[in-house]
């Protein structure tokens, strides 16, 4: 873990493969998962980058591929959804998906009933369950406890991971690093150098994979130690950095700015 990741470099010319987290990296967090929206400028920027990288761009996200498609409609980019339990390896292509374990929905029902608060949102994502407490921060500890108790009732092979203002329950194989490796094995990613931008605990594993592959790992708005070697202060800075390095369109970047210092 780096205590002080500092440099977010201007990338040299090269054959890059770009992996992007969505919430907290491309989109500012909102009160509810459905309360975010994608601007036309961001859509256009991603389309441009995808073309410039000959397709070597993929979302690596905790959202399902279906949820990502709704957000970015009509764009249907290469995507690893549900932390890599789902993959769309070609734009607009079929989605490979993991099966939902039979008891996940029942666990979701129980947690929902226990918290019995409109301010807590239980997001059912098939094999992954997210409990969101952004609107009720005082319930985070209680929600975490309930999810940990649910974990004990599941067969081996699951874990609990802190979300951004919430907590998620998922199979062990749901890991962003594995999702990045899956893309890196196939065209148009194979033979390129990975760049991964993320903002959260679940992205740390993706940073490690990116570092091991000799790539560039960038954490947005770090709140503590991170495996990422570089940081960017906020979403606006991340979009500005992407635009400067991969895009050719003017896009409103607002207040954020990438910080520079130590190299990889
Ligand atoms: O891996 P990501 O692309 O960053 O997705 C992580 C989770 O993002 C969403 O939840 C988070 O964003 C919401 C909208 O800003 C916010 O309301 C919530 O508090 C955040 O945790 C999404 O709903 C989850 O399914 C993703 O796993
Ligand atoms: Mg994120």
Model pLDDT, residue 1: 58
Instruction: Please state the ipTM of this predicted complex.
Output: 0.99
Is residue 7 in some structural domain?
no
Evaluate whether residue 230 is within a structural domain.
Answer: yes
Confidence class of residue 104 from pLDDT cuts 50, 70 and 90?
Answer: confident
Smallest CA separation from ligand 1 atom 15, residue: 29
Residue 236 predicted with pLDDT over 50: yes
Q: What is the CATH number of the domain that holds 153?
A: 3.30.1360
Same domain, 144 and 22: no
* Domain annotation covers residue 33: yes
Residue closest by Cα to atom 14 of ligand 1: 33
Within this chain, do residues 124 and 180 fall inside the same structural domain, yes or no? Answer: no
User: What average pLDDT score do residues 8-24 get?
Assistant: 92
| CA separation for the pair 192, 210 (Å, rounded) | 12
Q: Are residues 108 and 79 in the same domain?
A: no
pLDDT of residue 98: 76
For residue 117, is pLDDT > 90?
no
Provide the domain limits for residue 108.
104-171
Distance from the alpha carbon of residue 62 to the mean position of ligand 2, in angstroms: 8
150 and 185 assigned to the same domain: no
Whether residue 73 is contained in a domain is answered as yes
Average pLDDT on 173-200 reads 98
Pair 152, 197 in one domain = no
Q: What is the CATH number of the domain that holds 236?
A: 3.40.50.1000
Give domain status of residue 135, yes or no.
yes
H or E stretch at 66:
helix 65-72
Query: Would you call 200 helix, strand, or coil by DSSP?
Result: coil
- For residue 13, what pLDDT band results from cuts at 50, 70 and 90? confident
Q: What is the per-residue burial (b if ≥16 Cβ within 10 Å, else e) of 48-64?
A: bbbebbebbbbbbbbbb
pLDDT exceeds cutoff 70 at 100: no
Under a CB-based contact definition with an 8 Å cutoff, are residues 249 and 45 in contact? yes
Last residue of a domain, one of 119, 141, 171: 171
Total of domains in the chain: 2
* Ligand 1 centroid to residue 33 C-alpha, Å: 6
Same domain membership, residue 216 and residue 157? no
Question: Hunting for tokens 């207040």 — which residue is that?
Answer: 255
The Å distance, Cα 63 to ligand 1 centre, comes to 7
pTM for the model stands at 0.92
Whether residue 167 sits in one domain with residue 138: yes
Q: What is the largest CA-CA distance in the chain?
A: 54
Exposure string for 124-138, b = 16+ CB within 10 A, e = fewer: ebbbbbbbbbbebee
**Residue of the CA atom closest to atom 10 of ligand 1:** 33
Q: Are residues 89 and 190 in the same domain?
A: yes
The SS3 of residue 145 is helix
Residues 72 and 20 in one domain: yes
In a domain, 108, yes or no: yes
């Amino acid at each position: 873990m780096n205590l002080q990741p500092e440099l977010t470099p201007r990338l040299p010319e090269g054959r890059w493969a770009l992996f992007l987290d969505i919430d907290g990296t491309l989109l500012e967090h909102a009160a509810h998962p459905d309360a975010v929206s994608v601007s036309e400028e961001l859509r256009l920027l991603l389309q441009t980058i995808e073309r410039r990288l000959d397709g070597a761009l993929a979302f690596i996200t905790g959202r399902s591929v279906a949820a990502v498609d709704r957000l970015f409609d009509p764009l249907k980019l290469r995507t690893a959804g549900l932390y890599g339990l789902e993959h769309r390896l070609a734009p607009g292509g079929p989605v490979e998906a993991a099966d939902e374990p039979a008891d996940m929905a029942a666990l979701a029902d129980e947690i929902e009933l226990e918290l019995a608060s409109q301010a807590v949102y239980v997001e059912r994502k098939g094999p992954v369950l997210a409990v969101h407490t952004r609107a009720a921060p005082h319930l985070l500890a209680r929600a975490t406890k309930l999810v940990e108790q649910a974990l004990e009732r599941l067969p081996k092979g699951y874990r609990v991971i802190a979300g951004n203002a919430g907590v998620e329950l998922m199979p062990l194989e749901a890991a962003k690093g594995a999702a990045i490796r899956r893309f890196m094995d196939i065209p148009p990613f194979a033979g390129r150098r990975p760049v991964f931008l993320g903002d959260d605990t679940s992205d740390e594993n993706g940073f490690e994979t990116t570092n091991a592959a000799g790539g560039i790992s960038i954490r947005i708005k770090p709140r503590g130690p991170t495996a990422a070697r570089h940081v960017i202060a906020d979403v606006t800075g991340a979009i500005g950095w992407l635009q400067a390095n991969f895009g050719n369109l003017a896009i409103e970047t607002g207040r954020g700015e990438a910080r520079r210092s130590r190299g990889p």
